[in-house]
Amino acid sequence: MRRASRVDGNHAEIVDCFKKLGCSVLSLAPLGKGVPDLLVAIKGITWLVEVKMPKGKENELQIEFAITWKGCRAVVRDLAGVESTVKTMKFLA
């Protein structure tokens, strides 16, 4: 039996910041298995986002997912990371 998924302590704050910057956000955290925590979109650009605490490290499944994923993906640890990610997404739009 699969355990309930855990989210990092800053997950809600990160989601709120993406939304305040105009993004659509869908939590994928319940999927587990290395899939990043969030699906984030703005201006037709969609990225997968892994949420980590400032000193948090990705586990083996997350690293394997990152290596094999062919789309856009970011690791966000704080609000500055959210702002930087959104700025890059807008630049690509």
Please enumerate in sequence order all residues whose Cβ is within 8 A of that of 91, keeping only pairs 6 or more positions apart, or say none.
Answer: none
Reported confidence tier of residue 8, pLDDT bands at 50, 70, 90: confident
What are the pLDDT digits (tens) for 18-59? 999 999 999 999 999 999 999 999 999 999 999 999 999 999
Show me where the domains of the chain are located: 11-92
Reported confidence tier of residue 5, pLDDT bands at 50, 70, 90: low
Burial of 71 (0-12, 13-18, 19+ CB in 10 A): exposed
Reported confidence tier of residue 6, pLDDT bands at 50, 70, 90: confident
Mean pLDDT of the chain: 93
**Architecture in CATH of 11-92:** 3-Layer(aba) Sandwich (3.40)
